[in-house]
Structure formats: C-alpha cells, structure tokens
C-alpha cells in the first residue's frame, strides 16, 4: 500500500477522533465551570492548555473569556485543532483515499461535514452548546460504526484503528490533566462536594459515568477514577485499553509486511509500562507528571509510525 494511502487513513481517523475529543473537552470545561459559584473566564485557560492551543489562542485574542475560548475550540478556522477544522481535515483525507473506503464510510463522513458546517457556521449561544456537542459525538460515532461494519480487516483497517486509538489515549490523558492539575481550585477543595461534581463531569465527558459505578463503588474517589481512566482494560477510553488495541493493530501490520519497526517496540513498551503500574505508584509519582510523560511518549510513537511506514512518499 502506498504511504500516502496509509497516511490518509491514519489521519482521517485521528482528525475525526480529535473533533469529538475537543467537543468532549469543551463539555468538561463547561460542566466544571458551572460547578463554581465564583466561576471565572480564567477557568478556560486550563482547557486551552490541555487542548495544546493556549499560546495560539493568545495570538488571536487579547483576553481570556469563556465565550471566546469555546468559539476558538469549536469553530475557529485559524485553530487547526478546532472541531470544524478537524472535521474538514478528516473529510479532506477521506476524499484523498476515497477509493480505499466503503461507500457507507464516505457518506457518513461527508454528511458529518455538511451538518457541522451548518451548525458551526455561526457563533454558538451557551444554550446551543450541549445539543451541538451531542451531534458531534453522534456523527463521529456513525463514521466509526460505518467503517467498523463495512471494511475488510486488512492493512487499511489497521492504520485507521491505530490513528483512532493514539488520538483517543492522548485525549483521555489531557482531560484527566484538566481536572487534576489545572482546574482544581485549591487543595482545600479535595474531597468536597465541588471536587466530586468536577470528577463527575470528567466521567460524563468521556461517557463513563454509569460504567464507573458498575466497576467501582458509587462514591467518587480520585484514585479510583484515575485508575478507571488509566489502567482499567475494560474501559474503552482508558490508556490501557487504547494501547492494547494499538499493539494489536500494529502487530497485524508487522505480520503483513514481515517487518518489525521501532514503532512496534515503542508501542509494546508503553503497553507493558501500563500493565506493570498501579494507581498508587502513579499518584506517588505525580499524576500530572505521569500524564505529561505519557503524552510525550504517544507523540513519539506517532512520529515513528509516520517515518516507518513512509507516510509522505
């Protein structure tokens, strides 16, 4: 398979996943800002940091406001990680590899772009935000469902899945970091009703609120929630689950091409480190430091996949 085709599929699904994840990040920020009696626009600073666009936002806006931050994350074309930008990039990549996609997958992608282009064509009102975020999640789910239900389980499928799970793991790490490191007002709030409401918001933002209660006791305990989103192999957005899938799909590529690349070793090393860790060790090390290191290692893996499979040739 040509590197350009692999590149198109990998990035198509990274961008679709990123669009949904940015919407979830906005949802998390909005929910947490509503839990504060003294909610300030500065709360959105942490959300922008976790999305990796804080500096870029400052180049466009002189001051921090919640309305501007939401607009920048949802629909600003100057932000390459905004939901609208990601949907366009995803569709452009899909169009580039149109002959490698089933009709169902292409139509789901194109319809997503058409609907969101209309929904995000103007600045969103606060009351419109929840419904818009729901549409983004539903449309992204339809694309994944069409792809999963109609594609052959071959190298095309594997590159798309690797892109999906690298992006998803990165997002889960960033959303956890928003709560634990950036948005918690002060140590005095730990264990308070405010703290619990914010943890609940995190779980809802990754569609894990009810699943958490099935896996753990109903009480929101930071260590249990961090364990759920990092190490629980049954949770489909946990770091451990994502890396099980990444190693599996990249392993199929190794068998297909009869060649092992540095990316295979990096992915396996990340998976093994997650298998050996306990949440106590992570907390003792520092959750923010752990998440920062994890994101850096995931970025390294992405670069090695791009180089190893000659994405730009």
DSSP sequence for 129-177: HHHHHHHHHHHHHHHHHHHHHHS-SSHHHHHHHHHHHHHHHHHHHHHHH
Most confident of 56-60, 186-190, 307-311: 56-60
Q: What is the CA radius of gyration of the chain?
A: 19
Instruction: Give the mean model confidence (pLDDT) for residues 168-178.
Output: 88
pLDDT at 237: 94
Q: In whole angstroms, how far apart are CA 246 and each of 67, 161, 222, 255?
A: 36, 7, 27, 14
183: pLDDT strictly greater than 60: no
49 vs 167, higher pLDDT? 167
197: pLDDT strictly greater than 90: no
pLDDT class of 1 with cuts at 50, 70, 90: low
State the Cα–Cα distance between residues 224 and 311, nearest whole angstrom.
39
CA 228 to chain centre: 16
191: pLDDT strictly greater than 70: no
For 239-296, what is each residue's pLDDT tens digit?
999 999 999 999 999 998 888 999 999 999 999 999 999 999 998 888 888 999 999 9
295 is written with which tokens? Answer: 């994101």
Cβ proximity of 200 and 209 under 8 Å: yes
For 36-74, what is each residue's pLDDT tens digit?
655 566 678 878 887 889 999 999 999 999 899 999 999
pLDDT at 188: 41
pLDDT at 186: 43
For 9-22, what is each residue's pLDDT tens digit?
999 999 999 999 99
State the Cα–Cα distance between residues 197 and 210, nearest whole angstrom.
15
187: pLDDT strictly greater than 50: no
160: pLDDT strictly greater than 90: yes
In this structure, of 140-144, 167-171, 216-220, the range with the lowest mean pLDDT score is 216-220
Alpha helices in the chain (DSSP H): 3-34, 44-51, 54-60, 66-74, 83-96, 103-119, 129-150, 155-177, 193-205, 209-215, 222-230, 239-257, 262-276, 279-285, 287-308
pLDDT at 220: 78
Q: What is the chain's mean pLDDT, rounded?
A: 89
Q: In whole angstroms, how far apart are CA 238 and each of 5, 115, 170, 203?
A: 28, 29, 10, 11
For 87-142, what is each residue's pLDDT tens digit?
999 999 999 999 999 999 999 999 999 999 999 999 999 899 999 999 999 999 99
312: pLDDT strictly greater than 80: no
Domain boundaries, the chain: 3-308
């Amino acid at each position: 398979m040509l590197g350009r085709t692999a590149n198109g599929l990998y990035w198509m699904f990274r961008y679709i996943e990123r669009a949904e994840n940015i919407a979830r990040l906005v949802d998390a920020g909005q929910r947490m800002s509503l839990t504060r009696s003294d909610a300030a626009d500065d709360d959105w600073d942490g959300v922008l940091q976790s999305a990796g666009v804080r500096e870029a936002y400052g180049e466009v806006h002189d001051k921090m406001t919640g309305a501007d931050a939401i607009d920048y994350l949802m629909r600003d074309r100057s932000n390459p990680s905004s939901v609208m930008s990601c949907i366009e990039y995803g569709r452009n990549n899909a169009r580039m590899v149109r002959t490698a996609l089933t009709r169902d997958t292409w139509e789901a992608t194109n319809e997503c772009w058409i609907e969101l282009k209309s929904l995000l064509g103007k600045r969103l009102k606060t009351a419109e935000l929840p419904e818009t975020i729901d549409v983004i999640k539903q449309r992204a789910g339809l694309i994944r469902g069409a792809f999963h239900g109609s594609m052959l389980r071959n190298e095309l499928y594997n590159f798309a899945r690797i892109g999906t799970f690298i992006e998803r793991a990165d997002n889960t790490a960033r959303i956890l970091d928003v709560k634990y490191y950036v948005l918690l007002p002060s140590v005095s709030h730990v264990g308070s009703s405010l703290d619990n409401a914010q943890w609940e918001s995190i779980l809802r933002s990754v569609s894990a609120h009810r699943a958490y209660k099935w896996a753990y006791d109903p009480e929101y305990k930071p260590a249990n929630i961090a364990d759920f989103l990092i190490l629980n192999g049954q949770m489909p957005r946990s770091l451990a689950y994502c890396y099980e899938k990444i190693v599996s799909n990249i392993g199929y590529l190794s068998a297909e091409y009869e060649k092992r690349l540095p990316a295979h070793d990096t992915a396996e090393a990340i998976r093994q480190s997650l298998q050996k860790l306990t949440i106590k060790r992570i907390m003792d090390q520092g959750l923010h430091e752990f998440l920062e290191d994890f994101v850096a290692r995931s970025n390294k893996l992405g670069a090695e996949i791009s180089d190893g499979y000659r994405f730009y040739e």
